[in-house]
A and B are shown apart, each in its own frame.
Chain A
Amino acid sequence: RKEVEQDPGPFNVPEGATVAFNCTYSNSASQSFFWYRQDCRKEPKLLMSVYSSGNEDGRFTAQLNRASQYISLLIRDSKLSDSATYLCVVKGSSNTGKLIFGQGTTLQVKP
């Protein structure tokens, strides 16, 4: 079983739709949680950090449920430019800071 699991999709949605991605992680000692975005043939870039209290950045809302070891990302009012792969990322319990990545969920927003 992978340490971070995501539905790879693809999710095909029309512009303006609301879409939600989910992710589960297996190591209950994990410390930090993130969503990264990766465009085709580009490097991953941080989209947002994820906190138990939930955090919102414009159209994006991230949520962490430590009890269920579950992370979510909600995108409202999807834009064509949101088309990308969204990576669920966990910083492990070791003190090395290495990141553990999910396989990624592909989103395609269509006109």
Chain B
Amino acid sequence: GAGVSQSPSNKVTEKGKDVELRCDPISGHTALYWYRQSLGQGLEFLIYFQGNSAPDKSGLPSDRFSAERTGGSVSTLTIQRTQQEDSAVYLCAKEGQHEQFFGPGTRLTVL
């Protein structure tokens, strides 16, 4: 979607396993965001990157969640010891001039 690539598109994992979700804003933007959309819920902010640093991590639900960004481009969201309540669509967005452009998301299912 709109120059933001995410992989994998779907991920099924077992409870307790670690997962890595990837976001590539393609054209490279300074500001990058991760959000989560659980079933029947609105999107929730997780973390914001400005370049490679994350000045706002306030939305990360627990210390099992972490994210990094390298080269001011690709970002990885890691969830350790996954739980069933982590099942959701994880969306990445880049900042445009007047809006945020979202990637297609990664649908995570924790069994």
Q: How far is the CA of A34 from the CA of B100 in the complex (A)?
A: 11
Q: Dominant SS at the A interface?
A: loop
Q: Tell whether A102 pairs with B42 under 8 Å between CB atoms, given A94-B56, A96-B56.
A: yes
* In contact, B45 and A43 (Cβ under 8 angstroms): no
- B interface, over-half SS: strand
Contact A97 B95 (CB under 8 A): yes
* Closest chain A CB from B111 CB (angstroms): 20
**CB within 8 Å for A42 and B104 given contacts A49-B98, A87-B42, A98-B45:** yes
| B105 in contact with A100 (CB, 8 Å) | no
Contact B103 A43 (CB under 8 A): yes
**Apart from the given pairs A4-B42, A97-B31, 4 other A-B contacts in the complex at a CB distance below 8 Å:** A2-B42, A49-B98, A49-B99, A99-B45
Q: CB within 8 Å of B: which residues of A? A: 2, 4, 34, 42-46, 49, 87, 94, 96-104
